[in-house]
Chain A
């Protein structure tokens, strides 16, 4: 099983300050990596797939990068509504696995 590790657990940034979230895979997943946003009481929403492709309707301030074992989700100018939890997920190998999540706080 591929273990996905996200860091930091909590990220506190000021409005307009770039937020950088990291995700590391225990073995290469190529670019079979997705990012999700989940707000309290809601289902997750797909943000990024293929490591860097934005899903339909996702604002341009969200971007993804990386390949192999190291990945990054960047929120270029976070808005207050971006305060929530973000998960990475690999779909390279069964079983598909998620990271434990990063909570983003907009100060």
Chain B
């Protein structure tokens, strides 16, 4: 059974940076596309970024392009999201998601809360 555990969330000032991590277990991490999806407090879901199995392809929602970078370390079974130039509107719970079928958001972690506030 796939397990995904996010970490690295917290309180950061506008303009600051934060790096989220996701530890994966229970499946062959290096064979799966991975995603980050976020949810602002009391709001709906927003897809943020995807990364291919080998890291050679990455896709982002327009609002984070140039500020966020998705990456992975297949040797460590870990997914990352480097977030720079954070804005108040980036405040959300960030979920790590595995995609065993390439394009289906299948297994979700419990999320980590990022709060951007002065």
Contact = CB atoms under 8 A, between A and B. Distances in A.
A98 B95 contact: no
Interface size of A as a range:
20 to 34
A39 interface: no
B89 interface: no
A43 B110 contact: yes
Interface of B: 37, 44-47, 50, 59-62, 95, 101, 103-111
A72 B42 CA distance: 24
Contacts of A101: 44
A43 B106 contact: no
Interface string A81-107: 000000101010011111111000000
B47 A96 contact: yes
A100 B44 contact: yes
A49 B101 contact: yes
Contacts of B106: 46, 55
Given A89-B45, A95-B47, A98-B44, A46 B61 contact: no
A23 interface: no
B61 A98 contact: no
B32 to A, nearest CB: 14
B29 to A, nearest CB: 18
B108 A45 contact: yes
Nearest to B4: A43
